Amino acid sequence: MDLVVVSNRVARAKANEPMTGGLAAALLPVVEKSGAIWVGSSGRVRDNVSRDSFAEIESLGAGALALLDLPAAHYGGYYEGFANSALWPALHSRADLIQVAPGDYQSYREVNAFMARALMRFCKPDTMLWIQDYHFLALGAELRKLGIRHPIGFFLHTPWPVRRIMSGVPHHRDLVEAMLCYDLIGFQTEDDCENFAAYLRAELGLAVADGEVVSRFGTSRIATFPIGIDVDGFAAQAQRAASHPEVSRLRKSLHGERLAIGVDRVDYSKGLVNRISAFDRLFEIEPALKRAVSLLQIATPSRGGIEAYSNLQDALSRQVTEVNGRHGEVDWTPIRYLSKGFSQTVLAGFYRAAQVGVVTPLHDGMNLVAKEYVAAQNPVDPGVLVLSKFAGAANELDAALLVNPHDIDGMARAIAMALAMPATERRMRWEAMMARLRAGTIHQWFSGFTAALEATRAAGRPPALVRPLRSLSGAAC
């Protein structure tokens, strides 16, 4: 079986480069090992693009990485426009932030169609295609238009919101119906899967039964595939990273002080403002913790061309300055705020050096930082994970200290509790979390999805069927 994996952002196989976002970093080791062709955006645009506008094709493990220049005329409307100003806020239940300019949806569809044409060169008779994330909801439909009958799977890395929010996205019906050209549609959690099924029933009048929906395009399977990490690989990386110069510098700077760590893209879904407020509150309710603990917040700038993101960057800088001004002293900074990215290796070392991992998104598909923080810990003296109950990871990591990211006082108390937790309880919670991580690694995720996609091959997909849409009775997916 040949596999082609498609995502907007891809990762290079260089351990020392900063990574942007969980998707690319998570996919790299498994795609590399599988021998798949990984196709994505080169990050550059061109005026005159043809289907052969592959900027680079280089080897990646046993397979290849193929980077495509995207059409300049449509890139803004696609990436900053429809994908990140309409879909991303909606998928994270921020309907108030949805902004669509005229032409954005058309640009989004044009880029999906362009990617479909570019993929044709990789479609051999037994190829399967696996499309990643919200940038390419309509890519399957565009491939079908070109006559591709191969198995095509889709996995959404973000949450899928309740129907009312999704219906706030312009052209939502057109788009979600296009998704039904996929043979297999994967989500992170049961909630996402159920929200999607509820949408299909209410907005498209389709029935979902036993994880299947039949539309005029044929049958699509809908299922959950919670993404994991390479647990043992990451643990070994963290152990090795202890001697990395950057990690040694961090340890030396602590002078016996304890460390909490947060690592996020600057994104309104990550709950960064509330997290900084929780530390502000912590130093008010537990003044004895001043000088005894500080937060290292790595906040990688993201999507800076979009107003909601640049506003957030400014707001966070102001907030951190205020909190440091209020609680800091000449020789102590409560919040070390770094606006840049770090390599996986250095991050692994930082996680191991921190007694508390703070992962408090308002809404998150999975959040792999939570999983990486756990895997990076020293088994004898593990740190404590403070985790938002609204991260997909909370379904598995229920031995973390689960918090409501809207409850500032509750978060402050949870951080204080983490700092006071005895070693026996820390070890007990950590072992429970490691067992869950080992039960669902990135390797199992990859093989589970590709096996399920392969299984759809047997069923085949007929040319566009036109049949009554309300013919089945509904059940949970």
- Residues 74, 92, 150, 157: which is the catalytic one? 157
Q: Which of 32, 80, 104, 133 binds ligand G6P (CB under 6 A)?
A: 133
Q: Both tokens of residue 335? A: 């919040």
The distance of closest approach from Cβ of residue 373 to ligand G6P in the complex, given in angstroms and rounded to an integer, is 17
Min dist. Cβ of residue 469 to ligand G6P (A): 30
Helix (H) or strand (E) holding 47: none
C-beta of 226: minimal distance to ligand G6P in Å? 14
- Name residue 360's amino acid: T
Burial of 379 per CB tally in 10 Å (0-12, 13-18, 19+) = exposed
Give min distance, CB of 26 to ligand G6P, in A. 9
Is 94 an interacting residue with respect to ligand G6P (CB under 6 A)? no
Indicate the residue among 193 and 206 with the shorter CB distance to ligand G6P.
Answer: 193
Closer to ligand G6P at the Cβ: 24 or 411?
24
- Residue 437's H or E segment, with its range, is helix 423-438
Q: Is 364 a catalytic residue?
A: yes
Interaction of residue 300 with ligand G6P, rule CB under 6 A: no
Helix (H, G, I), strand (E, B), or coil: what is residue 387? strand
Nearby residues of 451 by Cβ (< 8 Å), 6 or more positions away: none
Give the alpha-carbon dihedral of 8, 12, 16, 22, to 10 degrees: 30
Distance CA 215, CA 192 (A): 20
The pair of structure tokens assigned to 232 is 């043992």
Q: Is 157 in the site for ligand G6P (CB under 6 A)?
A: yes
Stretch that binds ligand G6P, among 22-30, 50-58, 379-387, 456-464 (CB under 6 A): 22-30
Q: Would you call 363 a catalytic residue per the annotation?
A: no
Quick one: which segment of 18-26, 101-109, 207-215, 382-390 binds ligand G6P (CB under 6 A)? 18-26
Euclidean distance between CA atoms 111 and 119, whole angstroms: 12
The count of chain residues that interact with ligand G6P, using the rule CB under 6 A, is 12
Among 34, 85, 297, 302, binds ligand G6P (CB under 6 A): 302
Q: What is the C-alpha separation between 77 and 117, in angstroms, rounded?
A: 19
Tell me the window of 17-25, 143-151, 178-186, 321-329 that interacts with ligand G6P (CB under 6 A): 17-25
Instruction: Please name the amino acid found at residue 178.
Output: A
Report the residue number whose CB is nearest to ligand G6P. 21
- Asked if residue 40 binds ligand G6P (CB under 6 A), the reply is no
Phi, psi dihedrals of residue 112, rounded to the nearest 5°: -60, -40
Q: In what order do the strands lie in the sheet with 384-388?
A: 335-338, 293-300, 258-265, 356-359, 384-388, 401-403
Q: Which of 5, 6, 22, 234 binds ligand G6P (CB under 6 A)?
A: 22
Catalytic residue selected from 104, 133, 280, 364 = 364
Should residue 158 be labelled a site residue for ligand G6P when binding is judged by CB under 6 A?
Answer: yes
Phi, psi (deg, nearest 5) at residue 122: -100, 0
- What number of H helices and E strands is found in the chain? 17, 16
Regarding 21 and contact with ligand G6P (CB under 6 A), the answer is yes
What whole-number distance in Å separates Cα of residue 87 and Cα of residue 65? 26
Q: Which stretch binds ligand G6P (CB under 6 A): 21-29, 97-105, 211-219, 330-338?
A: 21-29
The residue among 274 and 302 lying less far from ligand G6P, judged by its C-beta, is: 302
- Distance of closest approach, residue 241 Cβ to ligand G6P, in angstroms: 23
**Are the CB atoms for 42 and 55 separated by under 8 Å?**
yes
**Max Cα-Cα span within the chain:** 73
Query: Which of residues 114 and 217 has its CB atom nearest to ligand G6P in the complex?
Result: 114
Minimum CB distance to ligand G6P, residue 134 (Å): 7
Among 2, 13, 18, 20, binds ligand G6P (CB under 6 A): 20
How far apart, in Å, do the first and last CA atoms of the chain sit?
28
Q: Minimum CB separation from ligand G6P for residue 81, in Å?
A: 13
Catalytic residues: 157, 364
Q: Which residues bind ligand G6P (CB under 6 A)?
A: 8-9, 20-24, 133, 157-158, 302-303
